[in-house]
Every structure is written in structure tokens, then in C-alpha cells.
């Protein structure tokens, strides 16, 4: 089976509410939808994501350009992944090229699994199962976070992750304690600093949070500063979570070697798609590190089924306003779709409405 076409569609996907972080707000998610065609009539799909709408045209062109390297080739996901790696070796696979590779890799694996008539997890040799899920939101102060925590409880999630990184630690602590009270017993609470702190400030704030019962503290300092991450992980009792910014499995391997984290959460796009995720899952298994996901809930729900140390699925549903089917949440878990590939089917009316 050969690839005959790969089409891209840039969109600004709607969100229930803006996602505010310590670095700014995301009003809508800039996505590039990727649709693969084959000479057997099998079609596959996935998407790439960039946080800034100003960069959406560049991502669209990058995905389309790299897609042209695949048209006419056999539908063999690992071979195609290696082909793109080789073609991009001189330029590198960070930034736009890495993002484009990750999205294309997911779309190719989706097409391959659809050709087999199986969900991706089953095509990879795993069984579908519910995956423990948490609700992931933005930066909310002590007053506004109460409604968010109640929303997480009402939605049936097993946990809630809120952003942190207010100008003062007192504001962080007030929001965390308000969220904890509103969540009640039985739901996990995580926080994410989104790389916003210096090492001294991160060390002080994280140590001060050790008695707050947090499931983890995420990215307190720059994501690629593995030495500082390791110092914090060694000094703080609360588990330190990093990984969403690993550019490929090689960076995860380096982070493990540096003891930079207690927990890992690769992003299916940044880790270089399904191919990169499977390598990352093997690294996590060898190191005995629980592995969660970042964004891309459709792909991550399938991939966590095939991950030996699978932990949490993040639900910040970037493409939810463009799909035909909502995520299915049951007893605190997302139930992966029992449909070929990733199970994504676009609502073409919504796609047309939000096309950039």
C-alpha cells in the first residue's frame, strides 16, 4: 500500500475557556490537521499543534513540506520515520521540524492501523483498557479555582492539574489549598509551573509545598536544564514531573541519566510520534519510571495502553471542538475508542468554521 497524498488544514480550534499560564494565555489552539490518502482507499488522520497563532502558517508549511517527502512511498511507519530522520539530519529535528515529524508519524501510524482494521493499541499488540485521567487547566487564583475544582469533580476525573507561578508564593499556596478543599477526598491534585522559576525560587517554593499532598510538581525550571531539575528532585519529597518538552527519545534518555525527574510525561508530538513514544516507553520501563502523557489525548489513550509503566492521561482536549466524538470518561478513566487507528473523525462543518 502506497501513500498517494497528505493534505494539511490549519485551524484555530475552539476551547471552552482560555488557557492561562505564567507565560501568557492561549485563546484558541493553533492546529494543523493532517489527512493521509493511500492507493488502497484507506485514509488516516492526526494533527500537529503549536501554541502561538503567529506560528501556525509556518507549521502548516513545514508539515506540508515534510509530507512531500513521503508521498509515493510504501505505508511502513518505522521505515517512513527513519526516512524523515535521515532527510532532516543536517537541519535537525527540534522546533518546527520535530513538531512536523511527530504529527506526520501519528498520522502514518493511524493510517497503518486503519488498514489493519484495528485500534492503534491493539495493532501494537496491547489491549484496550480504561486509562486514569486528570483534568488539565490554566492558572487560577484562590477564588476562581474553586469553580474549576468543582468542574473536575462533576466531570468524573480522577485528578486535577492547575498551573502555578504567580508573582508570589503566597498566591500559589492559596490557590493550591483552595483547590484541595474544593476537590475533597479521593481526587489527586497536581501543579505545573511551566518552567517559570529560577533555580533558587523553584527550590524554595517546591520545598515549601512538600506537605500539601500534591501528586507532582511539574517543570519548575527550564525543561532542558536537567542539572537543576535533578537538584530539585533530590531535595524535594514531592515527585518532580518533566517530559512534555523532550525533543525525541534521546532527550528522555539524557534526563533519565541525569536523574532529572521522578516521573516522565512525554508529548506524543514532541517525542516524535508513535515511533518515538514506543522507544520512550521502553526507556521508562527499564528505568522504572511511571510515564504519563501530555496533550493529544486521542493518541495518548491508545499509547498508554501499550506503555508498561503507564500512569496518568492528561485531558486538555485541544481538538475536541473539531471531532465528531467526545472523549468517553468513566470512573475517573478515559475509555479509548474501539475504532480503527486513533479513532479520530473530523466534524467537517466545525473544521470549515475554524479554518485559519
Note whether 31 and 69 are within 8 A (CB).
no
CA distance 185 to 51: 34
pLDDT at 151: 95
- pTM recorded for the entire structure: 0.95
| Residue 159 falls in which region: left (phi positive, over 0), alpha (psi -120 to 50) or beta | beta
The CB density around residue 68, as the number of other CB atoms within 10 Å, is 10
**CATH annotation of 3-118+347-354:** 3.30.390.10
How many Å apart are CA 108 and CA 48, to the nearest integer?
13
Of 81, 132, 161, 294, the active-site residue reads: 294
pLDDT beneath 50: ranges in the chain: none
Give tens-digit pLDDT for 305-342.
999 999 999 999 999 999 999 999 999 999 999 999 99
- Euclidean distance between CA atoms 11 and 50, whole angstroms: 11
What's the Rg (C-alpha) of the chain?
A: 20
For 305, phi then psi, to 5°, come to -65, -25
CB count, 10 Å around CB of 229?
25
Beta bridge partners of 37: 5, 43
pLDDT of residue 282: 98
Domain range annotation of the chain: 3-118+347-354, 123-334
294 carries an active-site annotation: yes
C-alpha 218/C-alpha 83 separation (Å) is 34
352 φ/ψ angles, rounded to the nearest 5 degrees: -65, -40
Q: What is the 3-state secondary structure (H, E, C) of the chain?
A: CEEEEEEEEEEEECCCCCEEECCEEECCEEEEEEEEEECCCCEEEEEEECCCHHHHHHHHHHHHHHHCCCCCCECCHHHHHHHHHHHCCCCCCCCHHHHHHHHHHHHHHHHHHHHHCCEHHHHCCCCCCCEEEEEEEEECCCCCHHHHHHHHHHHCECEEEEECCCCCHHHHHHHHHHHHHHHCCCCEEEEECCCCCCHHHHHHHHHHCCCCCCCEEECCCCCCCHHHHHHHHHHCCCCEEECCCCCCHHHHHHHHHCCCCCEECCCCCCCCHHHHHHHHHHHHHHHCCCECCCCCHHHHHHHHHCCCCECCEEECCCCHHHECCCCCEECEEECCCCCCECCCCECHHHHHHHEC
Which residues touch 41 (CB under 8 Å, ≥6 apart)? none
Instruction: Give every CB contact of residue 337 below 8 A, 6+ residues apart in sequence.
Output: 119, 298, 301, 325, 328, 343
Rounded CA-CA distance 301/315 in Å is 10
Joined grid coordinates for residue 313: 492521561
Which among 81, 132, 163, 354 is annotated as catalytic?
163
Q: Looking at domain 123-334, which of 3.40.50.2030, 3.40.50.720, 3.40.640.10, 3.20.20.120 is its CATH number?
A: 3.20.20.120
94 is catalytic: no
* In the block, residue with C-alpha cell 484558541: 28
Amino acid at each position: 500500500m502506497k501513500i498517494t497524498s497528505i493534505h494539511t488544514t490549519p485551524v484555530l480550534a475552539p476551547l471552552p475557556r482560555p488557557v492561562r499560564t505564567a507565560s501568557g494565555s492561549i485563546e484558541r489552539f493553533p492546529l494543523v490537521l493532517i489527512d493521509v490518502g493511500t492507493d488502497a482507499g484507506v485514509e488516516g488522520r492526526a494533527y500537529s499543534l503549536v501554541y502561538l497563532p503567529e506560528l501556525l502558517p509556518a507549521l502548516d508549511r513545514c508539515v506540508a513540506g515534510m509530507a512531500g517527502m513521503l508521498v509515493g512511498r510504501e505505508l511502513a511507519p518505522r521505515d517512513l520515520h527513519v526516512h524523515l530522520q535521515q532527510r532532516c539530519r543536517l537541519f535537525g529535528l527540534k522546533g518546527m521540524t520535530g513538531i512536523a515529524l511527530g504529527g506526520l508519524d501519528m498520522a502514518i501510524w493511524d493510517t497503518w492501523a486503519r488498514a489493519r482494521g484495528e485500534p492503534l493499541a491493539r495493532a501494537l499488540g496491547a489491549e484496550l483498557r480504561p486509562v486514569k485521567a486528570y483534568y488539565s487547566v490554566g492558572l487560577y487564583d484562590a477564588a476562581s479555582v474553586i469553580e474549576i475544582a468543582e468542574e473536575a469533580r462533576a466531570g468524573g476525573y480522577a485528578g486535577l492539574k492547575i498551573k502555578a507561578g504567580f508573582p508570589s508564593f503566597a498566591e500559589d499556596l492559596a490557590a493550591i489549598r483552595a483547590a484541595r478543599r474544593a476537590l475533597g477526598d479521593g481526587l489527586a491534585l497536581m501543579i505545573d509551573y511551566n518552567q517559570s522559576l529560577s533555580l533558587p525560587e523553584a527550590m524554595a517554593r517546591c520545598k515549601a509545598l512538600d506537605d500539601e499532598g500534591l501528586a507532582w510538581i511539574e517543570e519548575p525550571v527550564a525543561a532542558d536544564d536537567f542539572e537543576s531539575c535533578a537538584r530539585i528532585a533530590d531535595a524535594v519529597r514531592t515527585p518532580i514531573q518533566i517530559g512534555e518538552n523532550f525533543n525525541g527519545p534521546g532527550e528522555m534518555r539524557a534526563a533519565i541519566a541525569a536523574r532529572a525527574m521522578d516521573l516522565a510525561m512525554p508529548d506524543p508530538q514532541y517525542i516524535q510520534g508513535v515511533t518515538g513514544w514506543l522507544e520512550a516507553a521502553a526507556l521508562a520501563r527499564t528505568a522504572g519510571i511511571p510515564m504519563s502523557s501530555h496533550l493529544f489525548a486521542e493518541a495518548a489513550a491508545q499509547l498508554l495502553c501499550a506503555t508498561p509503566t503507564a500512569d496518568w492521561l492528561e485531558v486538555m482536549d485541544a481538538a475536541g471542538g473539531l471531532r465528531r466524538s467526545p472523549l468517553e470518561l468513566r470512573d475517573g478513566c478515559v475509555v479509548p475508542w474501539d475504532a480503527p487507528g486513533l479513532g479520530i473523525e473530523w466534524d467537517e462543518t466545525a473544521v470549515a468554521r475554524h479554518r485559519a
